[in-house]
Structure 1
Amino acid sequence: MTINCKGQLIDLSQPKVMGILNVTPDSFFDGNQDIKDSDIVAKAQNMLHDGADFIDVGGYSTRPNANFVSEEEELERVIRAVKLLTKHFPELIISVDTFRSHVAEQAILHGASIINDISAGLLDNNMLFVAAKYQVPYIMMHMKGTPQTMTQHTDYQDIIKEMMYYFSERVAVARSVGINDIILDVGFGFAKTIPQNFEILNQLEHFSWLELPLLVGVSRKSMIYKTLNITPQEALNGTTVLHTIAIQKGASILRVHDVKEAVQSIKLINSLKS
């Protein structure tokens, strides 16, 4: 499987690593009230040094019960970061983490080349058209509700089957408007309880039925730190364990806070397979 980023074909037959760069003051793990330009550049430099294939820029925290952020504020945060990254790392493949089509479009015009949408186009009807217009890879996530309400939407009769229906419908809509490169994100922690998260991870290989690349984002999430009764800051070891399982079950991209450890996991599993 390949995706086209800025005319470059990225082979996802070997798992890749997407580093998380939050430019928000209220991220559950790495929020920062005073993010300087030098901090953004230094963090990106460190992730690239550690082996990141992509960097995902987000200006709106989507943790459960996150504060609402206006489009203007999100746009200012995201474009500032994208401009800095494009200036200092012109070959970098930047993903923009947003569910707003205007933010996504402006980020693309300033150098981003992947859209990462937690809502699969359901929170902004124009999002799919933006992805199709610029022919950028589109990451669609499974979620119900919004970041503010998703914890109230965890009732499922059969969570795997319902997610399959969801993705089948959203992929069909994305294809109908002309999106070529689609990546699926099962949305760990989004409208799901901790037991449901583990059920999805346990059955992750079933999503290969859709024959699309699969992104996994479990890095330092509550399914790890609440299960282990620790803090997000202490959850690196647990994250690495789940990353290893996810790769073995077919993950194509790991979206992570800790790039070096994720890259090491992939290298070890590749050695095991060979």
Structure 2
Amino acid sequence: MPRARLGRVWVGDGEPVRLVGVINVSPESFFKGSVRRTTDEVIKAAELMVSNGVDIIDIGGMSTAPYNKTVISTDEEIRRVVPAIKALKGVFPDLVVSIDTIRPRVAEEALRAGADVVNDVTGLKGDAGMARVVADYGASVIVMARERTPSQGGDPVSKTIRALRESIEIALNSGVDEGNIVVDPGIGAWPPLSMDPILTGGEPLRGDYIRGDSAYPWYSWDSIIIMSIGRIRSELNRPVLVGISRKSFLERLMRRKAPPEDRLFASVSAEAIAVVMGADAVRTHNVGESRDAVRVAEVLRLCLNKDPIKCNEELVRLVNTGNR
């Protein structure tokens, strides 16, 4: 059954749903509440996350939102993330740290600074050197579902599974340990790589069909994926991490104007649903609030499609022992 490591943290069957806290040192990030500009701010944010039960902290130095102009130089990205990682490891030496980057040189400098995990939103397809860096350092990797080019026909779930299979194959062929691979189905309007302005240098994307499929607007695509995590997990036999926090599809589902600052309740409700559907880890800007939603959902999913007697036994055991 699906189980893998992110650094020293096991993810998947037999483990609690893991909480991955987001700290951005990129002022361009879409949710300004996640941005920390100094190492002191990074440490304070991490202290709060650790007190709220975070398992992994994900550091990002360049926003990759396809609807904003956010590209910075590789040197600037390194200048942002390396001090943050060193500071974290200095205060929390046992904390698992992930680097959110699409650039191999940034990943390598981050791993040298103490990072344990590479979180690549291109699914190792943006730069051929990324998988080699992960393998050379014996690191763990989170691969996101990304198509190389737009495709028509087929449903979002099948396309997501196919894209993730490609990324897993790239990782394995490059020497990445199979036990170090976790998949991310890519909730959040990620376009095919050939359309991504971060990679092409083009203008930010607009409109409902930035996924490249004329049948599925991006908010529908993301919603379908959340409700299909169990299928993705089963077909790939890999633990699944989801990143839902504060993302713009939530505003569409809320059916009112809501900037990222107003999407907290929508975020935690969608995260809870994702956990019920089978998610093994949740990447979140709000660890404390997500923790409580995730823990409740983690227990309730014991009853999903199960006999009431078995459900009762499991619920009583967990609640009375306090075992997460």
TM-score, L = length of structure 1: 0.91
SS at match of 1:139: strand
- Report the Cα offset of residue 224 of structure 1: 0.8
Distance 1:33 1:61 in 2: 11
1:23·1:31 contact (CA, 8 Å) conserved in 2? Answer: no
**1:36-93, CA deviations, whole angstroms, 9 ceiling, x for partnerless residues?**
2211110111111111100000000012233211101101001011011111111110
SS at match of 2:123: coil
**After alignment, is 24-33 or 65-74 more displaced?**
24-33
Distance 1:87 1:21 in 2: 16
Structure 1 unpaired stretches of 5+: none
Out of 193, 214, 222, the position equivalent to 1:197 is 222
Out of 49, 54, 57, the position equivalent to 2:56 is 54
Structure 2 unpaired stretches of 5+: 192-210, 212-217, 303-314, 316-324
Out of 86, 93, 98, the position equivalent to 2:89 is 86
**1:83-117, CA deviations, whole angstroms, 9 ceiling, x for partnerless residues?**
11111111110000001111111111110000000
**1:211-262, CA deviations, whole angstroms, 9 ceiling, x for partnerless residues?**
1110100101001123322221111111111111110111111000000111
Distance 2:4 2:122 in 1: 23
Which residue is equivalent to 1:221?
Answer: 247
Q: Which amino acid aligns with 2:175?
A: G
Identity of aligned residues (%): 29
Distance 1:221 1:238 in 2: 9
Which residue is equivalent to 2:205?
Answer: none
How many residues align structurally?
Answer: 266
Which residue is equivalent to 1:248?
Answer: 276
Which residue is equivalent to 1:72?
Answer: 75
Alpha-carbon distance change, 31 to 53 in structure 1, aligned in 2, over 3 angstroms: same
Q: Which amino acid aligns with 1:22?
A: N
Asked if 1:171 corresponds to 2:168, the answer is yes
Which residue is equivalent to 1:10?
Answer: 10
Alignment of 1:1-274 (within 5 A): 1-3=3-5, 5=7, 8=8, 10-13=10-13, 14-30=16-32, 35-66=37-68, 67-144=70-147, 157-180=154-177, 181-189=180-188, 190-191=190-191, 192=211, 193-208=218-233, 209-228=235-254, 229=256, 230-272=258-300, 273=302, 274=315
* Greater radius of gyration (CA): 2
Alpha-carbon distance change, 34 to 264 in structure 1, aligned in 2, over 3 angstroms: closer
Distance 1:268 1:173 in 2: 36
SS at match of 1:226: helix
**1:121-154, CA deviations, whole angstroms, 9 ceiling, x for partnerless residues?**
1111110011111111110101347xxxx9xx58
- Report the Cα offset of residue 12 of structure 1: 3.0
2:26·2:62 contact (CA, 8 Å) conserved in 1? Answer: yes
Distance 1:75 1:56 in 2: 15
2:21·2:286 contact (CA, 8 Å) conserved in 1? Answer: yes
1:24·1:32 contact (CA, 8 Å) conserved in 2? Answer: no
1:95·1:113 contact (CA, 8 Å) conserved in 2? Answer: yes
**After alignment, is 170-179 or 263-272 more displaced?**
263-272
